[in-house]
A = this chain, B = another copy of it.
């Protein structure tokens, strides 16, 4: 299956501003890209004047994510890409036999995903997690039980999140967006000594009846039986067409765009769909 990918994100930037983007497809999927997913950055006056290409540089952060830096001038900023990726077309694998690995046997670089992080208060939710999931069969089954619980107990509502909302807030408020669902599930997994990391990427609605405006998505991964597996407490079903962009301990490590000052988002458009589904490219090259 070929999946068309892209985004077109626009801002008004009132004064020169440093950005870091995590908008590249993850290096583990790079070989399947039909065209490089270059992060194009341009600036204009927003009223028809010349458009200038803004230079970018890239680095790999400590989680293996490709990060793109650029310094935006005052004006109208556009950040976009358009590419497509070969995909197996298969839903997320399900492996009920996958076992938990005790902490002493985990690889070194997996250990940080057992600890507390900005949005995942392992310390505050450990007692609750043990009460809810301590008696559940361990391994894949326990992770699935955590997803089922979060999915059943938390209500999706676009308006009911905020930048500072943590797993504990989600646990008490029981409402949020996809990142909130994943933060709570990630935290519960870590409380049970199951390594869990937050994931951001593309996820279209391939194979599901509901059609929503396309957006980036968050899910999470757990480490069982020697590898990372995708779980999604928001959708809570195997899905087709996840394209991983970045992973980290939580959304504090994974942000599509971070800027060190203020700007105003004026337009946001994401494409993630089966390529055959439309005849025209989703993102128009300017």
Contact = CB atoms under 8 A, between A and B. Distances in A.
A100 to B, nearest CB: 12
A76 to B, nearest CB: 19
A21 B212 CA distance: 39
A265 interface: no
Given A121-B164, A159-B159, A61 B173 contact: no
A114 interface: yes
Interface stretch (A25-33, A35-43, A122-130): A122-130
Interface in A94-133: 102-104, 108-109, 111-112, 114-118, 121, 123-125, 127-128
Nearest to A127: B174
Interface in A152-171: 153, 159-160, 162-164, 168, 171
A252 interface: yes
Interface string A56-100: 000101110001010100000000000000000000000000000
Contact of A69 (B63, B108, B123): B108
Contacts of A63: 62
B173 A20 contact: no
B260 A127 contact: no
B104 A163 contact: no
Interface of A is mostly: mixed
Contacts of A173: 124, 162, 164
A193 interface: yes
B162 A172 contact: no
B163 A172 contact: no
A110 B67 CA distance: 13
A18 interface: yes
Contacts of A164: 121, 123-124, 172-173
A175 to B, nearest CB: 9
Nearest first, the 7 A-B pairs at minimum CB distance are A62-B62, A18-B104, A59-B108, A103-B260, A18-B103, A124-B172, A71-B104
Interface of A: 18, 20, 59, 61-63, 67, 69, 71, 102-104, 108-109, 111-112, 114-118, 121, 123-125, 127-128, 153, 159-160, 162-164, 168, 171-174, 193, 252-253, 258, 260
27 contacts: A18-B102, A18-B104, A59-B108, A59-B109, A61-B112, A62-B63, A62-B109, A62-B112, A67-B108, A67-B111, A71-B104, A103-B260, A114-B260, A115-B258, A117-B118, A118-B118, A118-B121, A121-B172, A123-B163, A123-B164, A124-B172, A125-B172, A127-B172, A160-B162, A164-B172, A168-B172, A193-B260
